[in-house]
């Protein structure tokens, strides 16, 4: 599926439980190869995607959608929250519809995820991807994460500064305390 939309027509929005069908539709549009890279597994069918989305912890995890002007989720950043000792951390995973790739949008999602995590007091962002997943490795590198290879996996980590000095400062909290829609930060920066 090809899209000719400009990045200017996109926003990054906090996803809530009501957005689950839009998230499922986005993930279902990924090719078999893209699903294998996104989920770091061999076979991920539509039923597994539906289960994955059904198990998302919308009140606990940081889940950001890259949304086009029509409301279609064309990219997703899932920051799965966990504790390591007393430290709060998130594991970042990303996906972008094929027609929107190569524009720095994954990097924009990562920067927004880092900013939201920092504002929530998260100590670090970690990520894991297959060594062959070059786009994800580039996102990790551009985010300033430390990368280590272990067998066929890349493990990435970045300690965050807490509070309003978060990277980019582009993510803003709305009146409800939920994350508000934000414009796409300049990915070239």
Query: Model confidence over 119-132: pLDDT tens digits?
Result: 888 999 999 988 88
Separation of alpha carbons 170 and 164, rounded Å: 10
pTM of the model: 0.80
For 147-170, what is the mean pLDDT? 75
Q: Which fold has domain 7-164?
A: Aminopeptidase (3.40.630)
Burial of 130 (0-12, 13-18, 19+ CB in 10 A): middle
Query: Model confidence over 66-113: pLDDT tens digits?
Result: 999 999 999 999 999 999 888 899 999 999 999 999 999 999 999 999
Cross-strand partners of 96: 75
The pLDDT, as a whole number, for residue 163 is 59
Assess whether pLDDT exceeds 70 at residue 43: no
Beta strands in 43-114 (DSSP E): 62-67, 73-84, 87-96
Separation of alpha carbons 138 and 151, rounded Å: 19
Cross-strand partners of 129: 154
């Amino acid at each position: 599926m090809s899209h000719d939309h400009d990045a200017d027509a996109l926003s990054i929005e906090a996803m809530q439980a009501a957005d689950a069908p839009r998230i499922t539709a986005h993930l279902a549009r990924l090719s078999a190869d893209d699903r294998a890279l996104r989920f770091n597994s061999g076979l991920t069918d539509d039923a597994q995607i539906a289960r994955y989305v059904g198990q998302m912890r919308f009140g606990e995890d940081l889940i950001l959608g890259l949304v086009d002007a029509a409301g279609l989720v064309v990219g997703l950043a899932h920051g799965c929250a966990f504790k390591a000792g007393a430290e709060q951390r998130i594991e970042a995973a990303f996906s972008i519809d094929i027609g929107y790739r190569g524009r720095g949008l994954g990097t924009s999602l990562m920067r927004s995820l880092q900013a939201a995590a920092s504002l929530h007091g998260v100590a670090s962002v970690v990520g894991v991807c297959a060594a062959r997943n070059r786009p994800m490795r580039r996102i990790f590198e551009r985010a300033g994460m430390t990368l280590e290879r272990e067998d066929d996996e890349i493990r990435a980590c970045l300690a965050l500064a807490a509070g309003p000095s978060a990277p980019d400062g582009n993510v803003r909290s709305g009146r409800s305390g939920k994350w508000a829609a934000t414009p796409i930060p300049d990915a070239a920066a």
